[in-house]
Amino acid sequence: MQARRVGLPLKWLLTVSFINSFGFDFLWPLASVYIHEQLGQDMVTVGWVLFVNALLQMIGALLAGRLFDKFQPYKLFRAGALAMMVFLSLLVVWHGWPIFPVLLSATGFLFGWLTALINSYGTRVYSHDGRFVFNMLYFIANFGMAFGTALVGFIYGWGVQWLFISALILYTVMLIVAWRFLGMEFPQLEHVEGRNHKFKSIMPAWNLIIIYTLVVALVVLHTAYVQWQGNLSVYMSSILRLPLWQYSILWTINGVLIGVFQLMINVLNVSASRKIMIMQILVGLGLFGLAFLVLPFAKTFAAFAVAMAITTLGETIAFPMVPVLVNEITPMDLKGRYQGVLSAAPSLGRAIGPVAGGALIELDGYKVLFDTAAGMSFVALIGIAIVMAVGFRKTSKFGQ
């Protein structure tokens, strides 16, 4: 049957994206501190808990993306939000060892599930250009993360259960918003062939090559990026003897600059064509790698702030353009699947990164870690540049 284009309201999609990032940041940042200091587990155990959590985020994203194309998305979203509320309610009551890591891992799976659905929903917003939609989703998710990170330490001082109560309240609000404003049904795309068999699009070869090149690049880049979130704090505090508050301020700078850079990108409409969009990805990855080359020479807060600014500019230019590009080369009945794959890639990188980073530090210190992260970024840049130069003109374009 003919699929009628029923658009999704962008403002409500951005609202649930903000709440999802804000709420989950009450669980994630202090998990390692809580497990180590309050539950008495060693750092090896902490690492395995975070590894499993990241893997389950990846699995949740992959599964939700595939189901998005087969079922009405609002049912999947409501189910995920309800399940998240159930596990958060359990965490309020039971947050000792070993039930805490089990429940935390369940929330990780559901965060990946909800994030993939939100990104897939972005392909069904027709009131704005897809590039604007994904830029705004990237901005609002990071804004929620920064807001949550700013509050989590303060609330943790009242007791860890208040973090779970706060997250539960937020996800309850998210469910109400989703139930009220994201409940529209999307027509299922099908063609009647003989006995009402559903027609399934076949992805052209070069479309698949480009998509999976971008997926691998995201895994590589987030494997490098996660070093900022873990090993760099140890480097600054233990090796350089800088106060920990300076490391925290770096993430405040990150959040502020993401907002500033995103505003500039949207106002200037720099992503006006596919060629410019590809150039954004390449330039952004170059800046991302450059920041890691700065880190071995950084000894003061100002130098780390410069490196963070370069990293933030690079990620803000490049990362939002990846789901946009995939959206434009993916047919409608497969958009959810490949947005789910994209959503899973950062989780895999976050799972690999701490283990790989720790091994490199033990092998030859922090300089080799930073040099390796820079090299990985430039390899990803070169790989994407070659694939785009050879194959992008051979892809089939679908848009929204």
DSSP for 324-354, written as a single string: HHHHHTS-GGGHHHHHHHHHHHHHHHHHHHH
Burial-class residue 362 by CB neighbours within 10 Å (0-12, 13-18, 19+): exposed
CB atoms within 10 A of CB 272: 11
- pLDDT for the residue 191: 41
The answer to whether position 4 is within a domain reads: no
* 131, 147, 182 - which closes a domain: 182
- Residue 147 and residue 264 in one domain: no
The answer to whether position 330 is within a domain reads: yes
* 182, 215, 243 - which closes a domain: 182
- Residue 308 and residue 358 in one domain: yes
* Eight-class DSSP state of 36: I
Round to the nearest angstrom and report the end-to-end CA distance of the chain: 18
CA 67 from centroid of its chain's CA atoms: 19
Q: What is the CATH number of the domain that holds 34?
A: 1.20.1250.20
What's the domain count of the chain?
Answer: 2
What is the number of alpha carbons within 13 Å of residue 21 lying toward its C-beta? 22
The answer to whether position 193 is within a domain reads: no
d(CA 14, CA 384): 29
Q: Torsion angle of alpha carbons 13, 65, 85, 82, nearest 10°?
A: 90
- pLDDT for the residue 29: 64
- Residue 288 and residue 163 in one domain: no
The answer to whether position 2 is within a domain reads: no
- Residue 143 and residue 27 in one domain: yes
Per residue in 48-78, pLDDT (tens digit) is: 887 888 889 989 988 998 898 787 888 899 9
d(CA 318, CA 349): 17
* Eight-class DSSP state of 295: G
- Residue 22 and residue 88 in one domain: yes
- Residue 218 and residue 311 in one domain: yes
CB atoms within 10 A of CB 216: 15
Q: Which residues, including other chains, have CB under 8 Å from residue 348's CB and lie 6 or more apart? A: 54, 55, 58, 219, 222
pTM of the complete model: 0.79
The answer to whether position 86 is within a domain reads: yes
- Residue 175 and residue 260 in one domain: no
CA–CA distance from 117 to each of 42, 272, 348 (Å)?
Answer: 35, 26, 18
65: which 2 tokens? 């993306």
DSSP string across 256-267 = HHHHHHHHHHHH
- pLDDT for the residue 197: 46
Q: Determine the structural domain holding residue 81 and report its residue range.
A: 10-182
Q: Please tell me whether residue 315 adopts helix, strand or coil conformation.
A: helix
- Residue 283 and residue 337 in one domain: yes
- Residue 320 and residue 270 in one domain: yes
CA–CA distance from 223 to each of 26, 158, 203, 338, 356 (Å)?
Answer: 23, 33, 28, 20, 8
- Residue 174 and residue 119 in one domain: yes
Under-70 pLDDT residues of the chain: 1-7, 29, 32-33, 43-44, 149-150, 153, 184-200, 230, 244, 266-273, 399-400
The answer to whether position 49 is within a domain reads: yes
- Residue 158 and residue 97 in one domain: yes
- pLDDT for the residue 242: 84
- pLDDT for the residue 43: 62
* 147, 182, 217 - which closes a domain: 182
The answer to whether position 175 is within a domain reads: yes
d(CA 175, CA 188): 24
Per residue in 125-172, pLDDT (tens digit) is: 877 777 778 878 888 887 787 777 667 767 877 888 888 999 999 999
The answer to whether position 55 is within a domain reads: yes
- Residue 216 and residue 154 in one domain: no
- pLDDT for the residue 146: 72
